[in-house]
Structure 1
Amino acid sequence: MTRKSRLLVGCFILMASILSACAGNSANPNENNQPNNGAETPKAETPTVPVKLTMWGGVPEEAGPKAAVDAWNAANPDIQVEYIRFVNDDAGNLKLDTALVSGMNADLYVNYSKDTLGKRMSGGLALDLSEYEADYNITDIMGPDAKDWQFDGKYYGLPTNKSMSFIWLNKDALDAAGLEVPALDWTLEDLAEYAKALKTDSRWGYAHFDQMYTFNFEGVMQNQLDVDGKSAFDQPAVRSSLETYYKMMHEDKSIPTYGEQVSTKLAVDAMFLKGDAAMMGAGSWIFRNASNLTDFPRDFKIAFATVPRPTADAEDYAVSAGLGDVVSINPNSLHKDEAWKFLKWYADEGIMYLAPGGRIPSSKNADAAKGVELILQGMEDQYDMESVKNVVFGDYPVFTSTIDSQTKDVLKEEYEKYFLQEQSLDESLTNLVERHNKLLAR
């Protein structure tokens, strides 16, 4: 046998020994090389990958959403939620809609108007929650006001917050002017008189957010925008409300003109909290700034009044309020059941983390009294507690505005021209009714 042949044979023997050893180890997997008596060999566990959800909302994360999500994530390692903030304006809602349509991460999101939710529902971007009705009866848990958010008797979102609009008052300015905190049932003309008495060379008597120009007459109409298919915007409450605001702008000069408010994009809440306006029309969401004395320092106490009725003889008046912050699930989510599990928790427990910022839980499963306590905790001396009790947490007729966006646009375009002195009140109302009738006919 040649030297080369001997080397080849040696290699084959070595390989055979290695294969034999490997085969032996495969047949005896136990550490001590003992038979396993037919028992299944234990397998290493594969780490569970958590489901990841995203929730889009308009509240700054530092005002409660981050604390809520952190609490959920700590208790639910298998379902992790990320909060994404969008600004609740046209640009912000467009950003959210783009995310929903394009398939970006948007498993849950908050709606702040029924019209906006309706568009998303019609576009197939809001899940019909009927399939979860046996698990969570929304009407029973949220109360009958939740039905204001139904479409054809179905829910496409879960209302989580009791929203409320009212008039914020500088109590110190009232006292200096010898004015009482207004009664629950006051009128827009009363508000105008208060604004005139409270204005100074360096302070407006009153200011409010743009959408509140319609609240007075909407409180009379309460979504009854037509009568037998014809526009109801020709009723006296509409004329009286717009006329009073015009007078306050151009005659009393007790409120900023509409042109100034739009062109300068007035930060109404900051203006009030700095003392540059003695009264403000806004909602409960302002509590997150009003109770933040670090970023919004003030040296006056705040009192509250209801949104006034347009005239003393206006009947069946209600205040724009009801339930809000309606959270929907994206039907395109890959994890709808997990999103629903989180949403139930958020409505019953998670919303409490937003209470200090003015979010009052609407679920009967939540501790509403605790929510109220959190809103005012440590700040009782900063508010007139009697008016807080009567107005912020009072019991009086309310409604949820459901006016559609097209009607809103027509309404705004016509009252803008009137406030900007581009056309008369008669012309504005005539145009408003004609244009609204065309919308109704369509």
Structure 2
Amino acid sequence: MKKITISLFALTLALTMVLAGCSGGKNDSAPSGSSETGAAGKVVKLKFWGAVPEESGPKEAVDNWNKANPDIQVEYVRFVNDESGNTKLETALLAGDQVDLFINYRMDKLAKRIEAGMVEPLDGYIEQSGFDLADNFGENSITKFGDKTYYIPAIILNDFVSLNKTFLDEANLPIPQEWTWDEYMDYAAKLTQGDGADKRWGSYTDLLQPKIFEYLDKAVKTELGPDAFYKEDGSSNFDDPAFKRYFDIMYNLEKTLKAQPPIAEAKATKMEGIQLYLTNKVAMHWIGTASLRNIKNTTDYPHDFITAFAPPPKLTDNSKYLGGGTGYLDFTTINAKSQNKDAAWKFMQWYVTEGNEPLIAGGRVPAWKKADQDKVASLILGENPEKLFDVESFKQVVFADVEYVRDTKFDHLAEIQKIVEEEGERVLIGEKPTEDAVKSMKERADKLLLGSQ
């Protein structure tokens, strides 16, 4: 497993600074030796915080555990995975409210919580219980911080391209098994038809409304790998040709080929990619496993075409990281101040392996290597999947053996995202050429990153 040393974050805002100051206590990697699971007749009550609505699987998972383990009873507490929701979680941790286990949905959030002393190292528990991380999750599934293991990923988040197979067949185009952005643009052009209200777009690179940063992030990381936005000297990496290349691609799709809705139109009319795709207005559409529920929902989205699947395009033929911006997620952790760490570890081992099966139907593909792939596919795609899906291409993209990107640097990431969104939109509306936009991105990001040096 890759071992890194966590970069020291300048924790912003008073709350985060207080968290760092109040972490207190000894935070070593050995099991606490607490006796909460050993007292005869005592029922340990855990609180497990996560962001998935309980009706989408967590309640069933917790109920399954509680039925089989009367001595350790778990209650699921939901927080919304946005800024206010994450603040709610961190406030509860700071205030000493009961949070025994919690799931992190962004690595930068997890990294700050580790630095603030809020997360229990797991190495002692792993060693004592003989829990083989490599065997269960793979050699490169976990990033270590300060040579310690703080989390286990519960799922793999897969993004891929959905394709209307009827339109593919009409254009005599095969289902791509590996492709570049050049080939993607060629497909988009060939699949575009008509004009005006009757136009069928070849491509729409979003789940809902356009998100420039999110898809730039996915594209450049296939080529640049982890920490794509940063150089070793602490400056930004926006002068790498990969960034200009991506904006050139998006400009060509929208302005030159007219194969993708212009961003101004998409934002003004609040275009939703999944709705366009399921009403035959878009031939290729970026999607994640969680959004497959919409394709299965033929009541609200009646359609009779088969959806096929392709992996994210590579930026160049030599791109190494085919996983791009996808990868391990649902980073499951134990609160460093939990009074029930031994019991929490028992539940955690179960949850990240067989225990989170009830969440699969909602599109959360287990990171556990021993999960039954046929069963996972069946749970996600539903009954009689061949009526709506090309099952073989689905399995190829969802269970692909690829090297996922695992970032370790997050300095000023929120501000950098805002810069990318602003400069990228200027490119796509024709206000700036791509070379000027990436130059501005570099200058603005460097001012942030190097301003304190």
The yes-or-no answer on 1:318 pairing with 2:292 is no
Partner deviation per Cα, 1:154-176 (whole Å, 9 max, x = no partner): 22211111222211112122223
> Contact conserved, 2:227 with 2:408, CA < 8 A, in 1?
no
Counterpart for residue 216 of structure 2: 213
Counterpart for residue 85 of structure 1: 78
- Relative distance call for 1:156 and 1:289 in structure 2 (3 A) is farther
The yes-or-no answer on 1:240 pairing with 2:241 is no
The range that moved more, 399-408 or 276-285, is 399-408
Distance in 2 separating the partners of 1:298 and 1:81? 41
Counterpart for residue 185 of structure 1: 178
Partner deviation per Cα, 1:375-406 (whole Å, 9 max, x = no partner): 34524312113322432223344433556224
Distance in 2 separating the partners of 1:426 and 1:386? 41
Counterpart for residue 429 of structure 1: 438
- After TM superposition, the structure 1 = structure 2 runs for residues 9-24 of structure 1, keeping only pairs within 5 Å, are none
The yes-or-no answer on 1:204 pairing with 2:201 is yes
Q: Residue 396 of structure 2: which of 362, 372, 390 is its match? A: 390
Counterpart for residue 289 of structure 2: 284
Partner deviation per Cα, 1:87-125 (whole Å, 9 max, x = no partner): 433444334333333444433222222112112222222
The yes-or-no answer on 1:176 pairing with 2:170 is yes
The yes-or-no answer on 1:345 pairing with 2:340 is no
Distance in 2 separating the partners of 1:378 and 1:401? 37
Normalised TM-score (structure 2): 0.77
Distance in 2 separating the partners of 1:100 and 1:254? 48
- After TM superposition, the structure 1 = structure 2 runs for residues 297-312 of structure 1, keeping only pairs within 5 Å, are 297-312=302-317
Q: Residue 163 of structure 1: which of 157, 176, 182 is its match? A: 157
> Contact conserved, 1:100 with 1:125, CA < 8 A, in 2?
yes
Distance in 1 separating the partners of 2:390 and 2:277? 16
Q: Percent identity?
A: 38
Distance in 2 separating the partners of 1:246 and 1:54? 48
- Relative distance call for 1:297 and 1:344 in structure 2 (3 A) is farther
The yes-or-no answer on 1:272 pairing with 2:277 is yes
Q: Residue 93 of structure 2: which of 80, 97, 100 is its match? A: 100
Tell me by how many angstroms 1:260 deviates: 4.7
Q: What's the secondary structure of 2:243's corresponding residue? A: helix
Aligned length, in residue pairs? 394
Letter in 2 for 1:55: F
> Contact conserved, 2:222 with 2:323, CA < 8 A, in 1?
yes
The yes-or-no answer on 1:146 pairing with 2:152 is no
Distance in 2 separating the partners of 1:159 and 1:167? 24
Partner deviation per Cα, 1:203-223 (whole Å, 9 max, x = no partner): 432221421233111110002
- Relative distance call for 1:263 and 1:144 in structure 2 (3 A) is farther
> Contact conserved, 1:56 with 1:83, CA < 8 A, in 2?
yes
Structure 1: gaps (5+ residues)? 1-46
Tell me by how many angstroms 1:75 deviates: 1.6
Normalised TM-score (structure 1): 0.79
Tell me by how many angstroms 1:295 deviates: 5.1
**Larger radius of gyration, structure 1 or 2?**
1
Q: Residue 55 of structure 2: which of 51, 54, 62 is its match? A: 62
Letter in 2 for 1:390: Q
Partner deviation per Cα, 1:349-382 (whole Å, 9 max, x = no partner): 1122222223222224544553344334524312
> Contact conserved, 2:181 with 2:314, CA < 8 A, in 1?
yes
- Relative distance call for 1:93 and 1:255 in structure 2 (3 A) is farther
Tell me by how many angstroms 1:300 deviates: 1.7
Structure 2: gaps (5+ residues)? 1-39
- Relative distance call for 1:69 and 1:228 in structure 2 (3 A) is closer
> Contact conserved, 2:227 with 2:409, CA < 8 A, in 1?
no
Q: Aligned Cα RMSD in Å?
A: 3.0
> Contact conserved, 1:304 with 1:392, CA < 8 A, in 2?
no
Letter in 2 for 1:206: S
Looking at both structures, which has the greater relative contact order when contacts are Cα pairs under 8 Å and sequence separation is at least 6? 2
> Contact conserved, 1:145 with 1:322, CA < 8 A, in 2?
no
Distance in 1 separating the partners of 2:64 and 2:272? 32
The range that moved more, 300-309 or 395-404, is 395-404
Distance in 2 separating the partners of 1:221 and 1:362? 24
- Relative distance call for 1:424 and 1:118 in structure 2 (3 A) is same
Counterpart for residue 4 of structure 2: none
> Contact conserved, 1:319 with 1:397, CA < 8 A, in 2?
yes
Distance in 1 separating the partners of 2:427 and 2:356? 41
Q: What's the secondary structure of 1:124's corresponding residue? A: coil
Distance in 1 separating the partners of 2:422 and 2:219? 18
- Relative distance call for 1:398 and 1:175 in structure 2 (3 A) is same
- Relative distance call for 1:191 and 1:419 in structure 2 (3 A) is same
The range that moved more, 168-177 or 430-439, is 430-439
The range that moved more, 275-284 or 366-375, is 366-375
Partner deviation per Cα, 1:317-368 (whole Å, 9 max, x = no partner): 4222332211112223332222222111111211222222232222245445
Tell me by how many angstroms 1:440 deviates: 4.8
- Relative distance call for 1:360 and 1:51 in structure 2 (3 A) is same
Distance in 2 separating the partners of 1:91 and 1:137? 36
